[in-house]
Amino acid sequence: MRRIAKSIVATAFVASALSAEGSIVAAKIGNDVKPAQLKSSDKLWSKAKESEVTLYPQTTIKMNDKKGNAANAENKAKVAKVAALYNDKCIAFRITWPDGTQSIQDGTASDKYPDGFAVQIATNFEDAKKLPYIGMGSEGRPVLVHLNKAVTKHYEPNGNKDVALQVNRDNTNAFGDDLKKFDGDVANAAKTHYMRSFISEGFRSMTEIKDDSSKFNMTMDYDTKGKAWSGTLGRPLSDANIDLSKAGAVPVAFAVWDGEKMGRDGLKLLSTWIAVDLDGKKGNEELVKELTEAPKGNAESGKANVEAMCTSCHTLSKEKVAAMPYMAPNLSNIGGYSTAAYLAESIADPSAVVVPGYNRNAHKNFAWYNVDDKGNRTSTMPPMMTDKAMIDDAVAYLKTLKAEVEK
């Protein structure tokens, strides 16, 4: 009897390990098409095969916001559908994800939050085992993020070089056609206000790209019957920040925010790095392999070791809460949005990528890293596992830690 129970547990682990994310195939389209102009309803999308991408609640770092944290405490994962198209000049994505309520930010009320989505692309992915940290990149491993939020066409001063528009229309000297033009300019400025791109090496370093080096377009449409958003991104295959002209595949990650749940910043659902395979192009086979292969360790023995060695600091699930939860990131969704290579690296060499501290300002005593004279950060996590097989087992187990999918 005991034996049977054990083998059932083992099978359950194998089943979930096998459900590693697949890759997305970007279909090749003619060069006359400008993907940047594609809307989500465009017929051209039927050329691409939609792939499922699971988005998990970000639980690593808690926001300094009790209400927001409470609203998101029970979050489950959502399955999004992603399609991709490319030609010699451009690449485009369409992501469709369920959201029961359409939240559009109207005006500047500070207690209302919009739905939104982002597409994150690693700027350097030569070494498939050292991709950027999934939470907005990490030191020396930058990411490019394209972000779009559902806002109405209102205008708020934002320092976007358009000072002339930052006046109440009643205070302009404009009449007739001039006033119409003023209103049009304001509407246009406002429309693009929440379509932004950033270069980031960890979210403390997010820098908005305000020059012309990031040319892209994003759209968002809500399907009130199907209760789902559809978002598109079109961007050049290569620009000053990213060169995909010779890539056969590229690591891309997706995130969505739910305004109804006060979603913003870290309060989001996000995917792991997904390999986007440019159909018909060679190269980056290692990357595709790395991101689609199931981890090879033994999850069952990994579970035993991790529960014994790591739960003084790390929460693993609702049932396995850390002895001192403020000591380290919450790992209860880590298997959903982290790659196996990242997990192995985090265990073997904790300072390789250092996760920003838990509310560092509010909890100075429990920063997750130390900073030396030169500004380098070292993790407070001791390297606890050195044996390769033991690390593989831990990784196979950590990959099973993720929220179930919302039905």
Contact residues for ligand HEC (CB under 6 A)? 60, 306, 309-310, 312-314, 327-329, 334, 338, 343, 346-347, 350, 353-355, 368-369, 379-381, 384-385, 394
User: Radius of gyration (Cα) for the chain, nearest Å?
Assistant: 22
Is 150 or 353 the residue whose CB approaches ligand HEC more closely?
Answer: 353
Is 152 or 312 the residue whose CB approaches ligand HEC more closely?
Answer: 312
Is 275 or 354 the residue whose CB approaches ligand HEC more closely?
Answer: 354
- Are the C-beta atoms of 238 and 123 separated by less than 8 Å? no
How crowded is the C-beta side of 204, counted as CA atoms within 13 Å?
Answer: 11
Is 118 or 381 the residue whose CB approaches ligand HEC more closely?
Answer: 381
* 3-state secondary structure at position 342: helix
Give the span between the Cα atoms of 208 and 200, in whole angstroms. 8
Is 133 or 257 the residue whose CB approaches ligand HEC more closely?
Answer: 133
Minimum distance between the CB of residue 381 and ligand HEC, rounded to whole angstroms?
3
Is 147 or 394 the residue whose CB approaches ligand HEC more closely?
Answer: 394
Is 48 or 316 the residue whose CB approaches ligand HEC more closely?
Answer: 316
Which residue from 314, 326, 327 is spatially nearest to 397, judged by alpha carbons? Answer: 314
Q: What is the largest distance, in Å, between two alpha-carbon atoms of the chain?
A: 86
Minimum distance between the CB of residue 286 and ligand HEC, rounded to whole angstroms?
22
Minimum distance between the CB of residue 359 and ligand HEC, rounded to whole angstroms?
13
Minimum distance between the CB of residue 121 and ligand HEC, rounded to whole angstroms?
19
- Are the C-beta atoms of 253 and 274 separated by less than 8 Å? yes
∠ Cα 356 359 364 (to 5°): 95
Could you say which DSSP state residue 43 is in? G
Give the span between the Cα atoms of 273 and 95, in whole angstroms. 15
- Amino acid at residue number 241: N
Minimum distance between the CB of residue 373 and ligand HEC, rounded to whole angstroms?
20
Minimum distance between the CB of residue 11 and ligand HEC, rounded to whole angstroms?
24
Give the span between the Cα atoms of 229 and 58, in whole angstroms. 20
Q: Is beta strand 217-223 parallel, antiparallel or unpaired with respect to 195-200?
A: unpaired
Is 248 or 325 the residue whose CB approaches ligand HEC more closely?
Answer: 325
Minimum distance between the CB of residue 330 and ligand HEC, rounded to whole angstroms?
8
Distances (CA, A) of 199 to 196, 214, 256: 10, 10, 18
Minimum distance between the CB of residue 238 and ligand HEC, rounded to whole angstroms?
30
- Are the C-beta atoms of 317 and 401 separated by less than 8 Å? yes
Minimum distance between the CB of residue 13 and ligand HEC, rounded to whole angstroms?
16
Minimum distance between the CB of residue 223 and ligand HEC, rounded to whole angstroms?
33
How would you class 321 by CB atoms within 10 Å of its CB: exposed for 0-12, middle for 13-18, buried for 19 or more? Answer: middle
Is 277 or 345 the residue whose CB approaches ligand HEC more closely?
Answer: 345
Q: Provide the b/e sequence for 348-385 (b: ≥16 CB within 10 Å).
A: bebebbbbbbbbeeeeeebebbeeeeeeebebbbeeeb
Is 204 or 282 the residue whose CB approaches ligand HEC more closely?
Answer: 204
Which residue from 291, 305, 300, 295 is spatially nearest to 386, judged by alpha carbons? Answer: 305
